[in-house]
Structure 1
């Protein structure tokens, strides 16, 4: 009986010791690293969420930010092409023939030291595509807009922003009916 009592007392002492040794110190505070506007420059790997109507698509993309320009070397145009070309087989053939589409997004930056972020105000330009369908080319102009600011966050050195393709013109005629295509980058990590 005494052995059992001693064993229980020893186990309680070990558990108490482990509990105290695993307790974190209260000194674990985030050290603020002040940002500069040039911290935005660099290469990023991002999670892109594309949505149109009730359809969502998620993929990993890469882009670069330098001198107030974000450059996408492979801008996602699948939803745009499928909005213009309704036949899925022809749309996939057109997407394959287009290859990689480069898009440059201009921005101005403003430092917000209070929140340790760089605020990004975008000046989106139109995207022009020559979509091949049945031996002809559909001249397509996509108006891309940004409805809110983007942010480069000093806490985790990530960038967050969103774009919308709110209007498509095909051979000078507005595409109707058309559902807006949203491109959201909720997080992108600087490489």
Structure 2
């Protein structure tokens, strides 16, 4: 009889404790830390998805955002070079000797308080570098465009944006036929 009373008491105590813990959690609300325009500035590690037609490639890259500029110190130019030089062996040789290609994207930022994000109006610049084509060094100009806004998300301190290589010109001549190369950073984490 005593054991039944003790068990009943323990069950009631467990139910009471569980009920109080559920009630105490009901008051907990997520209060986001408001973002500021300056929050965009920093060093990032990102997953870059590059796609051209049905071909897609992913790579982890680093970049910096500061003073309305996103700077890639070592931009992955593989798809661009492979579009210009269609022989895979020759393209790999050119890429091995190309070195680091630096690329910068300008942006204008605007605070969106309702969504707790900083919206980025991207203004991609023309990428320019030199490559050897047929034994001659030629200038490459890649016209970049951005058709949608980028975002700095306050919830996870990440930067997300998309842009495209709209046209490639080698030595003043447009590459034809040409299929647009799309660059997408779906998530990047501030280091």
TM-score range, shorter chain: 0.7 to 0.9
Quote the offset at 1:22 in angstroms. Answer: 7.9
Verify the 8 A CA contact 1:47 1:61 in the aligned structure 2: yes
CA 18–51 in structure 1, closer or farther in 2 if over 3 Å, else same: farther
The TM-score with structure 1 as length reference comes to 0.87
Question: What aligned pairs does 1:130-145 form with structure 2 within 5 A after superposition?
Answer: 130-145=130-145
The CA RMSD measured in Å over matched residues stands at 2.5
TM-score, L = length of structure 2: 0.87
Shift in Å at residue 173 of structure 1?
Answer: 1.2
Q: Tell me how far 1:119 sits from its aligned partner.
A: 0.7
Q: Distance in 2 between matches of 1:15 and 1:168?
A: 70
After superposition, give the CA deviation of every residue in 1:72-104 in whole Å (9 maximum; x if it has no partner): 011110000000001101100111111111111
Structure 1 partner of 2:46:
46
Q: Could you tell me which runs of 5 or more consecutive residues in structure 2 were left unpaired when the two chains were aligned.
A: none
Distance in structure 1 (CA, Å) of the matches to 2:49 and 2:84: 20
Q: Any unmatched runs of 5+ in structure 1? A: none
Aligned residue number for residue 177 of structure 2: 177
Tell me the residue number matched to 2:101.
101
**Residue of structure 1 in register with 2:85 after alignment:** 85
Q: Sort the Cα spacing of 1:76 and 1:15 in 2 relative to 1 into closer, same or farther, 3 A.
A: farther
Secondary structure in 2 aligned to 1:81? helix
